[in-house]
Copies of this chain bind each other. A is one copy, B any other.
């Protein structure tokens, strides 16, 4: 919420430009659900938005503890929204632990909505409060709405005859109702959704609707403290089109299904569940009628190996995982590289090393993706920048894999995977076709015959008469495809594998500048999920008159042909990354440009302010 003195609309609602709300409560409080419903309602209301769900690693940690706090942040505005927001304007804290964990992020003057019913001595103690924050001045300087939601919910759903436990579960809907009122949102979609969801338990549906309505009515009727009114956020000027909200993992799954259709090939998806990649498997498991076969393997190695087997047999082989699983797949990636089979590997990165922080985000698998295998083992690496881009990049990955007969890694991360954004839905008819040529002709065939332009070997599908052949992980003769231990041949094959992957750059678009000029004092070079924060920080800096541009790399390996030339036109290069400096080293190694790192490894996305500060610091350096 921007300024203290606010304009109002005809109905007396304060007009706001942009708002950040964070829902926070116990894992069992249904905050993700409330957040997601609020997101839908906000999208329908025509705002642009970005979201950031932040779960605990425990399935359902003991109630009331700080490590069990689950959060969902949404940023929505009448202009375009690039990040879920640095600081919440509104914090919903369903219990003391939620307050404890989140209050520090709320700027003074922010609105804190509290469920006082949960501020029991037991809960206060579990949250680590020695005194009651409602009483000890902790909340001084904030605007607060202290409501015994628990009590009000029980009263509201009483007529529906639910037990206390079930009744209390509706707290999130009560709060949602209140927020719908505060931010002028329509309840209808949520009401309909509840009816669908609880089709088999109409009593639950009605109880939840009652809670939703009760929250809304509370807003309408209760005397709200001064400084709190009903807000209106005008529609954003999104470009024309048909929109929906999409998360990165959904978009990846749909992109794969679309790629199968574009290539007119079945998709085989072998995967082993792992946070935050699992939902790609879940989504694809429901798309069997799109020619998608999903296979939950016994581990990550079997998953990638099954996908390699499927690729050998002539379909689109795909596997998906997160960091620890990627580490396990390295040897098998080498096999796909040596046998030059098309393969798509999705890595939804999480905070590491080792098991690390499974539900937190990071970009620390770039090195592993580009260089983390035995031997010289080049492959292609892509990185979509937003949830929506995941769709196009899944297709692009399949295209490259099939066109060049190579494994392709797509790097997403926990932030993109779970974060939602309005997405302009493409038309299938507008998507680029993918052409696949299976070898049919036995004359002169050997499996390592190459397309002279792409250097792709020809793909001969088992079942084709006359093309019987054997491939494997041993070095192959350039000319015959048989096993070869010849020295010159190994040199030639190593060079060929490298040249083939480098050659992919010929089919890539040139690197463009995402914001600003193609030369200047500073290029801020990002990749992946940091897009929004960098974009916003660069825009801000440019508004301040600084000569700064945003260059966002999406083709991580090989990199766009013109990237070196482009970067050379900047005095300085700053590379913000959610790791200890990986792209920055690749840029320095490849181009010998004096790129400087701006690193963050807290498991959280960049705040815009952090990048803004980095820009100022970079420009200030002598």
Question: CB within 8 Å of B: which residues of A?
Answer: 56-57, 67, 322-324, 326-328, 330-331, 334-335, 337-339, 349, 351-357, 359-360, 362, 364-365, 367-368, 371-377, 472-475, 483, 485, 487-488, 490-491, 494-495, 497-498, 579-580, 585-586, 588-590, 592, 594, 600-604
Contacts and interface: CB of A to CB of B under 8 A. Distances in A.
A343 to B, nearest CB: 13
13 contacts: A328-B328, A337-B353, A337-B354, A353-B374, A353-B497, A354-B374, A354-B377, A355-B473, A355-B474, A364-B375, A376-B579, A490-B601, A588-B589
Given A67-B485, A324-B334, A485-B360, A353 B372 contact: no
Contacts of A360: 485, 487, 490
B601 A491 contact: yes
Given A337-B354, A355-B474, A371-B368, A490 B377 contact: no
A353 B377 contact: yes
B364 A368 contact: no
Contact of A375 (B330, B365, B472): B365
Contacts of A324: 331, 334, 374
Nearest to A475: B357
A586 B367 CA distance: 12
Contact of A602 (B377, B490, B601): B490
Nearest to A374: B323
A354 B341 CA distance: 13
A10 to B, nearest CB: 43
A599 to B, nearest CB: 9
Contacts of A356: 338, 375, 473-475
A4 to B, nearest CB: 30
Nearest to A474: B355
Contacts of A364: 374-376
Given A56-B485, A339-B354, A360-B485, 8 more contacts: A331-B354, A334-B353, A353-B497, A359-B485, A362-B375, A364-B376, A367-B371, A588-B592
Interface centre among A327, A354, A594, A600 (most CB of B within 10 A): A354
Contacts of A56: 485
B357 A374 contact: no
Contacts of A474: 57, 354-357
Nearest to A375: B352
- 4 closest A-B pairs by CB: A352-B375, A323-B374, A353-B375, A355-B473
B327 A334 contact: yes
A582 B509 CA distance: 27
Nearest to A591: B588
A373 B372 contact: yes
Contact of A373 (B327, B377, B485, B585): B327
Given A374-B368, A491-B602, A592-B592, A331 B328 contact: yes
Interface centre among A327, A497, A585, A600 (most CB of B within 10 A): A327
A331 B353 CA distance: 9
A588 B579 CA distance: 19
Contacts of A592: 588, 592, 594
A376 B601 contact: yes
Interface centre among A334, A352, A580 (most CB of B within 10 A): A352
A473 B334 contact: no
A22 B331 CA distance: 35
A396 B147 CA distance: 64
A324 B487 CA distance: 20
Contacts of A327: 330-331, 334, 372-374
A601 B494 contact: yes
A530 to B, nearest CB: 16
A490 B428 CA distance: 43
A485 to B, nearest CB: 5
A579 B374 CA distance: 11
Nearest to A321: B374
Given A365-B374, A373-B368, A354 B328 contact: no
A491 B585 CA distance: 20
Contacts of A580: 376, 494-495, 498
A376 B352 contact: yes
Contacts of A600: 491
Given A355-B338, A494-B580, A602-B487, A368 B372 contact: yes
Contacts of A488: 602
B357 A338 contact: no
A401 B164 CA distance: 57
Nearest to A489: B602
A590 B604 CA distance: 26
Interface centre among A328, A373, A483, A594 (most CB of B within 10 A): A373
A206 B498 CA distance: 55
Contacts of A67: 483, 485
Interface centre among A339, A351, A368, A376 (most CB of B within 10 A): A376
Contacts of A585: 589-590
A453 to B, nearest CB: 22
A407 to B, nearest CB: 11
A332 to B, nearest CB: 8
A498 to B, nearest CB: 6
A564 to B, nearest CB: 13
A475 B67 CA distance: 13
A335 B352 contact: no
Nearest to A604: B487
A16 to B, nearest CB: 28
Interface centre among A67, A352, A353, A498 (most CB of B within 10 A): A353
